[in-house]
Amino acid sequence: QKEVEQNSGPLSVPEGAIASLNCTYSDRGSQSFFWYRQYSGKSPELIMFIYSNGDKEDGRFTAQLNKASQYVSLLIRDSQPSDSATYLCAVSAGGTSYGKLTFGQGTILTVHP
């Protein structure tokens, strides 16, 4: 069983729509949750992080965390073609494992005009 699972996609949405990216994790002790965006051939870029249950909004991005269901999601409102990238969900157990993130395989998002 994979520790962090994401919809492999690809996910295709029209410009202006809401893109919904999902991630589940297996370690109930996970403390910190991150979303990275990675353009093809580039490095991962941190776009959101969330530590507590509920929603966290930053501009067009909203991260949602439900620890009981071991589920974290990323919503992108008013999607733009420039949002087309691979989105990586990452989870940390914290404790002595700070910075030791477990990444999902990534979801490829395509926003078409």
Partner 1 sequence: NAGVMQNPRHLVRRRGQEARLRCSPMKGHSHVYWYRQLPEEGLKFMVYLQKENIIDESGMPKERFSAEFPKEGPSILRIQQVVRGDSAAYFCASSSRDRDEKLFFGSGTQLSVL
Specify the stretch interacting with partner 1 by CB under 8 A; choose among 12-20, 56-64, 66-74, 103-111.
Answer: 103-111
- The reply on whether position 102 binds partner 1 by CB under 8 A is yes
Question: What is the radius of gyration, based on Cα positions, of the chain?
Answer: 13
Applying CB under 8 A, among 46, 58, 59, 66 the residue interacting with partner 1 is 46
How many amino acids of this chain bind partner 1 (CB under 8 A)?
25
The CA–CA distances, whole Å, from 96 to 14, 19, 46, 49, 106 equal 42, 34, 22, 19, 25
CB 12 within 8 A of CB 110: yes
State the minimum distance, in angstroms, from the CB of residue 42 to partner 1: 7
